[in-house]
Amino acid sequence: MKTARQQAGRKAEEEAAAHLALSGWRLLGRNVVVGRDEIDILAIDPGPPAELVFVEVRSATSNQFGTPEERVDRDKVAHLYRASRALTAATGLRRRVDLVVVDRRSGQSVVRHLRALEPA
């Protein structure tokens, strides 16, 4: 049985994936494990130029721990870039790391997409 927090996280990932698909992205995988790192969503942004995108999904229902964006620290971004390098090293594909936030603090789901997080 999943905890309420795990269920909420899964629902946020589903909302984020739907948002990306409606934007024309091709979803390649969810919860992709690369070494010790996990990518919430792996997708192709059709661009131009087309890019392989490693998407971190965060959600929030309260301000108790800050905004969802504030919960992604330098270490998390570094782990995402490490995983992206491991998957794209042999291909030479363009890659980037994005953050999709599902913000439920107002009682409704609001999706925000922040593109190209900077590596630490």
Q: What is the pLDDT of residues 10-19, one digit of tens each?
A: 999 999 999 9
* 36 has a pLDDT exceeding 80: yes
More confident residue, 105 or 66: 105
- Closest CA relative to residue 26, chosen from 12, 42, 13, 10: 42
CA distance 67 to 60: 7
Per-residue model confidence as pLDDT tens digits over 45-65: 998 888 999 999 999 887 777
* 114 has a pLDDT exceeding 80: yes
Residue reference for tokens 């721990």: 65
CA distance 42 to 106: 28
**Which domains are present in the chain?**
4-114 (3.40.1350.10)
Indicate the pLDDT class of residue 33, thresholds 50, 70 and 90: very high
The per-residue pLDDT for 88 is 83
